[in-house]
């Protein structure tokens, strides 16, 4: 039987994202964040292309993005609820990490695999933050898909996209329980 890590398995079986709106200061310092970012980058990366990059968004940058989200929502004529949610996603946060998908030309590695690798970075950062005792949540939202917001707010270049915003902070209340997927309803076992 292979060597096991029961603590790691127990963490994965019981992990829960924390609602971003319940996270507050303090957030990790740059020194505290570095090992989490290092862990986040240890993901499947077929061809060692590193088809992602990170943008750490501290409070002043988040305030700027909140204002931009409000302006873009107005320019796009979005309803008040969508505008308020996007503004709060950035304005109420103390720290978020934008995981940027940066697909690279490759004859061997399809773009979809590279996008999946960026998604793995999001989940790995989320889990690293939770394992370190922080509250964390993976968000996207309409602004993450708005080309002008991404270009002006994050400096994204042609072909880049936001895989997710990972919010990290101090948890103010326990994460609510929610129904979990039914393994048997979602799994097929094949022996031939």
Going by the annotation, the residues of the binding site for FMN are 15-17, 42, 46, 138-140
For residue 26, whether the previous peptide bond is cis, meaning omega lies within 30 degrees of 0, is yes
- Which residues lie below 8 Å from residue 142, measured CB to CB, with a gap of 6+? 78, 82, 86
8 Å CB contact between 175 and 16: yes
Residue ranges of the annotated binding site are: 15-17, 42, 46, 138-140
d(CA 3, CA 104): 36
| Residues ≥6 apart with Cβ < 8 Å to 99 | 40, 52, 54, 118, 121, 122, 125, 162, 163, 164, 165, 166
Enumerate residues 6+ apart whose C-beta is below 8 A from 105.
Answer: none
Residue 60's alpha-carbon distances to 57, 103, 127, 139, in angstroms, are: 8, 29, 25, 19
């Amino acid at each position: 039987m292979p060597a096991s890590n029961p603590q790691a398995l127990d963490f994965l079986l019981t992990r829960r994202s924390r609602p971003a709106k319940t996270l507050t200061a303090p957030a990790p310092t740059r020194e505290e964040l570095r090992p989490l970012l290092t862990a986040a980058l240890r993901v499947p990366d077929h061809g060692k292309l590193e088809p992602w990059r990170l943008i750490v968004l501290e409070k002043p940058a988040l305030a700027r993005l909140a204002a931009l989200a409000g302006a873009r929502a107005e320019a796009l004529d979005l309803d008040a609820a969508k505008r308020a949610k996007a503004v709060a996603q950035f304005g109420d946060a103390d720290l978020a990490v934008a995981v940027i998908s940066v697909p690279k030309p490759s004859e061997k590695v399809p773009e979809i695999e590279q996008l999946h690798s960026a998604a793995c970075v999001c989940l790995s950062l989320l889990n690293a933050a939770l394992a370190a005792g922080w509250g964390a949540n993976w968000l996207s939202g309409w602004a993450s898909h708005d080309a002008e917001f991404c270009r002006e707010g994050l400096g994204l270049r042609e072909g880049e996209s936001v895989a997710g915003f990972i919010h990290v902070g101090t948890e103010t209340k326990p994460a609510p329980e929610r129904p979990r997927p039914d393994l048997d309803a979602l799994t097929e076992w094949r022996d031939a």
